[in-house]
Amino acid sequence: QKEVEQDPGPLSVPEGAIVSLNCTYSNSAFQYFMWYRQYSRKGPELLMYTYSSGNKEDGRFTAQVDKSSKYISLFIRDSQPSDSATYLCAPNRDDKIIFGKGTRLHILP
């Protein structure tokens, strides 16, 4: 089993929809959970992070972690065309960060 798994997509949704992006991981040692966003032909940039289980909200974005099921989610409310990008989940522990393959998201105007 791979350490981090994400559905690569692409995921196409109409503007204004709620988007749900998901990720599973296998290593229970992961304690920190990050989401990076990567626009086409650019480097990834940190979008949000959480520590341990629970929810964290930042504007239209909500990150959710369920450590018992090793499941990570990112919700985007009122999605905009500018949200079109690849979203990489990145669980990590004290010594290393592991990036998922990313889910390509396309918001249709």
Partner 1 sequence: DTAVSQTPKYLVTQMGNDKSIKCEQNLGHDTMYWYKQDSKKFLKIMFSYNNKELIINETVPNRFSPKSPDKAHLNLHINSLELGDSAVYFCASSEKGGGGLDEQFFGPGTRLTVL
Q: Which is nearer to partner 1, 40 or 68 (CB)?
A: 40
Q: Which is nearer to partner 1, 79 or 102 (CB)?
A: 102
- In whole angstroms, the minimum distance from the beta carbon of 20 to partner 1 comes to 20
> CB-based contacts of 103: which residues, under 8 Å, 6+ apart?
6, 7, 8, 9, 11, 21, 22, 86, 87
Q: What does the block give as tokens for 65?
A: 């972690």
Residues that bind partner 1 (CB under 8 A): 8, 31-32, 34, 41-46, 49, 51, 86, 88, 92-97, 99, 101-102, 104
Strands 61-66 and 71-76: antiparallel
Q: Which is nearer to partner 1, 17 or 48 (CB)?
A: 48
